Amino acid sequence: MTWLLKDAGEDVIVLDNLSTGFEWALPGDVRLVKGDVGDRAVLDELMKAHDIEGVIHFAGSIIVPESVSDPLKYYKNNTANSRELIEACVRHGVDKFIFSSTAAVYGDPETVPVAEDAPLKPLSPYGTSKLMTELMLNDVAAAHDFRYTALRYFNVAGADPKGRTGQSTKNATHLIKVACEAALGKRGHLGVFGTDFDTPDGTGVRDYIHVSDLVSAHYLALNRLREDGTSVVMNCGYGEGYSVRQVIEAVKAVSKVDFEVREEPRRAGDSPKVVAQNAKILTEIDWKPQYNQLDLIVEHALNWEKNLSKRNSPR
């Protein structure tokens, strides 16, 4: 996101505690404030020192099974800290807010593709922690001069096509990232968690969205708020789903590596099938996806994983 904003000529300040991020991933001329979005003193100092127009809020914990075993971490990091950030925006007159929400708010949707007005029934504390933040945003927008866009991510994958950045955290759980690691020998095998779902091949089906298309949606959403757009919630997905087995075959085909795959029991909190109904985002912000091909998403993810291996290798 930071690279796109800089490419567009925006003045950007990044607030990050670097618990999962990396300073080297930022453009060299971007100001980095090392701190937590839940730290009121840090937020006050930052917002007093700079003329902040809007906030794009990415910070949070995202591992569904971990949220089941450690829910309080997720209610602190995702919900309570978001409350502090929202309150700081109100306190300092920052009236534009873009929030990274999630398709996990739908749980196991009754209808697929799932639209924004579908029942919200999260299956995990992760999904609930994000839904609670959406509810806060709605209430704050009704009470203050404050407008927001909540983007419900489906499964984010791929990497910057220019090779500048990509997912770099250790012990990642995202399927395409993990499969690329297996293809490059960074993992001994890949686990398929659940093969008895009510889907065509028994494995979970997801809508995989390229990270570059996702960040472009954020910038379009920000510009919509700049043009006096009202608060809105929108799905961020392509409207097409792929099963775990289909993704694995795509990674094997692109990498030309037949890595080991092991079948494992289901993980707590996983939904059988979640695919976006994306008519709203296509019309509200004139979003035009550029990378909505599974093989291309895999290719970019694999290229980034190779670059990451070179970066981390001894010199």
* Residues linked to residue 244 through DSSP beta bridges, in sequence order: none
Helix (H, G, I), strand (E, B) or coil at 56: strand
CA atoms within 13 A on the CB side of 296: 12
Contact 164, 232 (CB under 8 A): no
Q: Within a domain: residue 315? A: no
Cα angle 12, 102, 183; round to 5: 85
The CATH number covering residue 171 comes to: 3.40.50.720
Nearest Cα neighbor of 224 from 102, 54, 90 is 54
User: Residue 263: which H helix or E strand, with range?
Assistant: strand 261-264
109 in a structural domain:
yes
Residues designated as active site:
126
152 membership: H or E segment, kind and range? strand 147-153
Domain count, the chain: 1
Domain that holds residue 161: 2-310
Q: Is the dihedral of CA 37, 60, 209, 157 positive or negative?
A: positive
Q: For the chain, what is the largest distance between any 2 Cα atoms, rounded to a whole number of angstroms?
A: 56
Give the pLDDT confidence of 197-226 residue by residue, as tens digits: 999 999 999 999 999 999 999 999 999 999
Query: Which regions in the chain score pLDDT beneath 50?
Result: 313-315
Parallel/antiparallel/unpaired status of strands 155-157 and 208-210:
parallel
pLDDT of residue 190: 95
| pLDDT score, position 314 | 42
Q: Where on the phi/psi map is residue 246: left (φ > 0), alpha (ψ -120 to 50), or beta?
A: alpha
Amino acid at 140: V
Query: Is 29 within a domain?
Result: yes
- What is the structure's pLDDT at 25? 86
Tens of pLDDT, residue by residue over 148-183, are 999 999 999 999 999 998 888 887 888 999 999 999
Confidence at residue 312, expressed as pLDDT on a 0 to 100 scale: 56
What is the predicted pLDDT for the residue at 310? Answer: 72
pLDDT at res. 315: 36
Instruction: Say which DSSP state 166 is in.
Output: B
Radius of gyration of the chain (CA): 19
